[in-house]
Chains A and B, each alone.
Chain A
Amino acid sequence: MTAIAGAGRLAAFSLRVDRRRITAWAVASGIVVVVVGIAFNRLYPTSGSRESLVALADSPVLRAILGPLLAPATTGGLVAWRMGSILTVILALATTFLVVARTRGEEQRGRGALLASLPVGRGSPVVAALLDAAVLDAAAGLSIVAALLCLAQSPTDSLALGLGVGASAWSFGAAAALVAQLTATSRAANGIAAGIVGASFLVRALGELYASWVTWLSPIGWVGTLRAFADPRYWLLVVPLGIGAAVGACAVCVALGREQGRGLRAERAAPSTPLSPSALGLAWRLEHVAIAVTAVAGLAYAVLAGSIVGLFDRFVKSSPVLERAIVHLGGTHVLKDAFTTTMAIYGGIAMGAFAVSLVLRLHSEESHGRVTVLCAAGATRSSVIEGFSATALCAGVVGTLAWGLGLGIGRLLVDHSTLGLARGVEAGIVCVPAVVALVAVAVAAVGATRRAGAIAWGVVVWCAVASVLGPFLGLPSWVSDLSPFTHVAPLPLSGSWWVRCTVLLGVAAIVGALGRSAYLRRELGGA
């Protein structure tokens, strides 16, 4: 067992390092479930009103995004339907980032060498990270169970949902562990592992509309297969746990044969390319590959997401009741536009998050003392913040437009009408101002404080919560209005859409300018 010697001690240590992060995710998961449960009880108090949700849930848009509504009669069943996949996606991302930080992240930061010189096995960091992740997911899962118990739901069903979400999220952690063994940087590992989460979401959506066997290909789909609140099948927990353990074992095997600090690809002598001698030139040089890769990956995802609308006609025709209801609403193209808008906003938030990570790059440049190097070499402070912000802005805008184009191409592929293409592109364009606003907030955070990370990521999470849950939770409108994505004009565009865009861009410009001037005034941190 020398291969994983010391894994237990390493895991205990990781828990010590990550205890705040783990507690925060667990508490947040429970709170979200309680809030959503209370909202359901308030908005749909009677069984009659809950039955009305069944028809709504059967619309292809909601089937694709949320999965089936199995148990409308219980609050727990409604929570499982509304929150099951979303909680899984969020916890899967949290688990992914945790696992990558404790494996590739340590190696990349040079602490890995110190750890590796101690009597720990080569596979131990992977095992320790997966144990750490298991604690995160178990804590979050049990917090969900506790929240459901607070809502007076059946303990067995609550346990099925909580464990299902936790186990599925953990299997993503195992995938992230494997990815982290193969990529040379933690950033690439995070990107690819998050991409796997996104792909699982789309595959699950495809499974809902096309054929149920496809659902089994997606770890997010596995949560639904447990049938919490509708005669739960606990034994299916074997699927995420077994597959996760198998993938984790693969990661350990790769780690055993791998040199410290290395990825799949060998280092090469890098070609020297000219670099514009400015902060902007540096920021562009550091990020342009990541920007291009993200835009292309986003385009590919969006094509898949957009093409899902092709299944809407088929799905609607399968149920005469649904078909009559949809015709009454104005036909399936209304649904397609609604789905396109929703998907554009999800993509916009994802691209916004990427752009925010690039703004925060400036923050890590500062804490590693590299901003000092730049300024000492003659770059002005304003050129530093402008250069990095402009690069981040470019990433957000290009990514969002690529995403919209992808949605359009996806619709074009299945509809064979250029109207679909145009709708996708439009959806992308109207999301751009919201992404710009998100970047501006991150710039303001970096400008105002040396602890910008928590603020900027908090805003990203807030945007996601407000967009995904805001209208449903019945939050006061001023609260969800704080998210720029609340102001994205819905398709089909009409009347005043450009007014919304202009106002958002104006607000973004003011916030960004305030951040810039704050940055010029505050003290620089350093290594």
Chain B
Amino acid sequence: MGVIDVAGLRKRFGSISALNGLDLSVGAGEVHGFLGPNGAGKTTTIRVLLGMVQRDGGTATVLGLDPWRDATELHRRLAFVPGEVDLWGQLTGEETLQFLAGLRGGVDAASQARLVERFELDTSRRVATYSKGNRQKVALVAALASGAELFLFDEPTDGLDPLMVEVFREETVRVRERGATVLLSSHVLSEVEEACDRVTILREGRTVEAGTIDSLRHLARISVHAETLRPIEGLEAVRGLSDTVSSVTSLRCKVEASHLDSLLGVLHAAGVRTLECHPPSLESIFLAHYSGDQGATST
């Protein structure tokens, strides 16, 4: 059993359908990326996992518990960082961290101090004077210092500068190294690509793709740019080509991973002078799903 097991999750808000049979499984010790355009249902899913809203259909277990029924028990074992952190303006950063830690029943003070240092957070100031990024840091420090088994991050780096995003990534690696599991919802695809073992991509409240980033790459097309010594012949026989722009001795195209070998055979026969071959980025996988063509067929 995984840390998060969700199958066929449904949720309606009045007449608005937020989740339409979402599947999500996250294994222990994994950093799992959770991707989708605005309004796809990422935050609603996380709220179901936190037991803040009740599911209308499907199953969901988190750390082997029912998130709605066992919310309090569950919250002792997880930590959450929302994308928009609103805090009490009249408190200082220090007081806020103390309070959040107190509700948790205490956290490791040394680890919290280390994180405050790493995120360069001035905790002596009142929260009212904090920028969005600084409020975000307070929530991140409180969560990362908690020693939780599971971390739910809902666009956690929103408002952080690139240096701090890097600190966040390193800290994510650190919690994974001690065996914790992370669900990371994000728009920043490079961040997910670097940090995550597996990803789940959703669209309109459904899972459209799930797997390791490498396995998803196999589903998408590889871009190839080649120039040859002799005219390219037999290109018609290669299947799975698209966006082809070719002249006599040059070729620009995209090819499905399973047909790359036959394309390379054709190019080799013509004598390769230069060859660029780009595996699909997460971004191109992502865009492929949302531009409609592939996303519509795979649901």
Nearest CB on A from B135, distance (A): 10
How many angstroms between the C-alpha atoms of A89 and B15 in the bound complex? 41
Q: Which residues of B contact A (CB under 8 A)?
A: 13-16, 47, 50, 52-54, 71-73, 75-76, 78-80, 82, 84-88, 90-91, 95, 99-100, 102-105, 132, 139, 152
Which residue on chain A has the smallest CB distance to residue B100?
A118
How many angstroms between the C-alpha atoms of A2 and B51 in the bound complex? 14
Which residue on chain A has the smallest CB distance to residue B16?
A269
Task: Mark each residue of chain A from 116 to 133: 1 if its CB lies under 8 Å from any CB of chain B, else 0.
Answer: 111111100000000000
**Do B82 and A267 touch across chains, with their CB atoms under 8 A apart?**
no
Q: Which residue from A114, A259, A267 sits with its C-beta under 8 Å from B80?
A: A114
Interface residues of A in 2-19 (CB under 8 A from B): 2-3, 5-6, 9-10, 13, 16-17
**Do B75 and A117 touch across chains, with their CB atoms under 8 A apart?**
yes
Interface residues of A in 431-476 (CB under 8 A from B): none
A contact residues around B100 at 8 Å (CB): 114, 118
Closest 10 pairs between A and B when the two form their complex, measured CB to CB: A117-B80, A260-B52, A266-B14, A2-B72, A119-B75, A119-B76, A259-B53, A110-B86, A118-B103, A268-B14
How many angstroms between the C-alpha atoms of A111 and B90 in the bound complex? 14
Task: Mark each residue of chain A from 487 to 527: 1 if its CB lies under 8 Å from any CB of chain B, else 0.
Answer: 00000000000000000000000000000000000000001
**Do B14 and A113 touch across chains, with their CB atoms under 8 A apart?**
no
**Do B15 and A2 touch across chains, with their CB atoms under 8 A apart?**
no
A-B contacts at CB below 8 angstroms, number: 88
Q: Which residue from A110, A120, A262, A266 sits with its C-beta under 8 Å from B75?
A: A120
A195 within 8 A of B: no
How many angstroms between the C-alpha atoms of A280 and B219 in the bound complex? 53
Q: Which residue from A10, A117, A121 sits with its C-beta under 8 Å from B79?
A: A117
Mind listing 22 A-B residue pairs with CB under 8 Å?
A: A2-B73, A6-B72, A6-B103, A9-B102, A9-B103, A10-B103, A13-B103, A16-B91, A110-B85, A111-B86, A113-B47, A114-B87, A116-B52, A117-B50, A117-B82, A119-B76, A119-B105, A120-B72, A120-B103, A260-B53, A267-B14, A269-B16
Nearest CB on A from B166, distance (A): 24
B contact residues around A68 at 8 Å (CB): none
Given contacts A119-B73, A262-B53, A269-B16, 13 further A-B contacts (CB under 8 A): A3-B72, A13-B99, A110-B82, A113-B80, A117-B50, A118-B100, A119-B72, A119-B76, A120-B72, A122-B71, A259-B54, A267-B16, A527-B132
Which residue on chain A has the smallest CB distance to residue B48?
A259
Nearest CB on A from B152, distance (A): 8
Task: Mark each residue of chain A from 127 to 146: 1 if its CB lies under 8 Å from any CB of chain B, else 0.
Answer: 00000000000000000000
**Do A17 and B90 touch across chains, with their CB atoms under 8 A apart?**
yes
Size of A's binding interface in residues, CB under 8 A: 31
Q: Which residue from B84, B86, B104 sits with its C-beta under 8 Å from A118?
A: B104
Nearest CB on A from B148, distance (A): 10
Nearest CB on A from B14, distance (A): 4
Given contacts A5-B72, A16-B95, A267-B16, contact A113 B103 (CB under 8 A): no
A261 within 8 A of B: yes
Which residue on chain A has the smallest CB distance to residue B142?
A114
Which residue on chain B has the smallest CB distance to residue A269?
B15
A317 within 8 A of B: no
B contact residues around A109 at 8 Å (CB): 86
**Do B52 and A261 touch across chains, with their CB atoms under 8 A apart?**
yes
How many angstroms between the C-alpha atoms of A16 and B85 in the bound complex? 20
How many angstroms between the C-alpha atoms of A409 and B200 in the bound complex? 64
A contact residues around B79 at 8 Å (CB): 117
How many angstroms between the C-alpha atoms of A2 and B73 in the bound complex? 8
A contact residues around B105 at 8 Å (CB): 119
B contact residues around A268 at 8 Å (CB): 14-16
How many angstroms between the C-alpha atoms of A9 and B98 in the bound complex? 11
A contact residues around B78 at 8 Å (CB): 117
Interface residues of A in 222-278 (CB under 8 A from B): 259-262, 266-269
Which residue on chain B has the smallest CB distance to residue A268?
B14
Which residue on chain A has the smallest CB distance to residue B146?
A118
How many angstroms between the C-alpha atoms of A114 and B14 in the bound complex? 24
